[in-house]
Structure 1
């Protein structure tokens, strides 16, 4: 029979302690404190052995012990440690553990930390599980908490991530709303004002993806009234050329504008994808691509 690893030995010791009956002179609280300490040691030993699922399970058991003896800060920390272990290949379990962490943080009024963990959930949904809808919800919830805690630029970054995902999901009106919200916030500061034209470009591309040149033109006029320098930017000129190409159903002019813009300012994957959608909206005759 193979010998038990140090981690397994500690985990069994922890189980035994957690399931034992409290003695005459010790309270059940003491029992769970001791079991929690043993589960923590077992979890760290599992991490050394690179057994991350088992490490996560041990941290989760530690968290449950901490909860039983009302050590809420320690419980929150144990759930977070569980999440970090589960992230090594078990994103669904990591999300469950992070959700438990957030519950403790919000009850304690620690909304900044809750926002950090909610953002992590968004990243797991987006990058590991490919659930863009759930990722969007998490980014927006995190952004609201960051805003409440006066962390405006961090909130903005989350709202922008949510806007990108809304657009990926073709929820264009919601995407436009979020981009404009981020732009309005960025306009207020000289440090972030430079980024506004990027958000307005993205919002305008969403309007074009809806095949709504009327809204696109109206929004361009609105943005130009908010910042008079916008009309002279490459972004604004680019959108105007695209609107013209769409209205005249001129695929060649559309493609030429995209190529010219890309030569000076490289198009990222998000813009490339949405421009392909916009182009498909123009009545295609040659079946070409960008």
Structure 2
């Protein structure tokens, strides 16, 4: 590793010398970029990720000086891979630089792909707000490029995290859009009831019985088969327990559904929020009487 660090520093010194000197033949920026690429690889072998990232950023700047935008974007993505090991924010910043270049040169599908990757960086770092922001950008770009499957993957992530942040309307919109798209795709039809269930749970979190009742009518119009599903009956029964302010009945309905179709952590968390609101309302009514 020590040898690789020595090599990396030598390559970087040579690159700096090229950049600060004159070049009668060829391009000093291309020559320096080559040396910085060698430096970045040596830093990488030495597991000096921060230094490798910096070398790749310098390399990207060299490519920009020589008007080689495609290679500049690639260098920024390499820098992002290096920084990902040590610094999520730097990694995201490098990928955003790459995205800006891809937008400039009309490579929107690449821009979409890297917006999604930025979102995943923030997701792994538990920075949910930033993850939502970049999943939204990715979804928009994928949609514009008609890569609907990738757009829908992003929308489902937006919905999941928006609901966690109690942004229920945004979550509902995303789940409904994905459900609508899936209805027209034979391979995805089986997932529609799950998307509508998730949207319905978000409606329940709003604590508005009229809202969930209207949503169920809308979903049955959207997909006539939905009314016969366990998911639809579950949402209708939950809405009834909320209307009747019956916590015990609410618990029984959830337990029965869970015994047949086990609830994942996301659904369980949201339904617990609904139950807590219902319990608070019940206590409030007891105090009034």
TM-score range (shorter-chain normalised) is over 0.9
Residue pairs, 1:144-223, within 5 angstroms: 144-223=140-219
Query: What is residue 16 of structure 2 aligned with on the other side?
Result: 15
Displacement of 1:133 after TM fit?
2.0
1:114 equivalenced with 2:111 (yes/no): yes
Displacement of 1:147 after TM fit?
1.2
1:69 equivalenced with 2:70 (yes/no): no
Query: What is residue 6 of structure 1 aligned with on the other side?
Result: 7
1:35 equivalenced with 2:32 (yes/no): yes
Residue pairs, 1:82-161, within 5 angstroms: 82-128=79-125, 130-161=126-157
SS in 1 for 2:236: helix
Count of matched residue positions in the alignment of Structure 1 and Structure 2: 280
SS in 2 for 1:89: coil
Q: Distance in 2 between matches of 1:113 and 1:258?
A: 43
Displacement of 1:131 after TM fit?
2.5
Query: What is residue 78 of structure 2 aligned with on the other side?
Result: 81
Displacement of 1:205 after TM fit?
0.7
Displacement of 1:172 after TM fit?
0.8
**Aligned partner (choices 256, 273, 277) of residue 273 of structure 2:** 277
Q: Which runs of 5+ in 2 are unaligned?
A: 284-289
Residue pairs, 1:254-269, within 5 angstroms: 254-269=250-265
Q: CA RMSD in A?
A: 1.6
Q: Which has the higher helix share?
A: 2
SS in 2 for 1:283: helix
Displacement of 1:264 after TM fit?
2.1
TM-score by length of 1: 0.92
SS in 1 for 2:30: helix
Displacement of 1:278 after TM fit?
0.8
Deviations 1:54-98 (A, max 9, x none): 111111110000000011110000000000111112100001100
**Aligned partner (choices 224, 231, 234) of residue 230 of structure 2:** 234
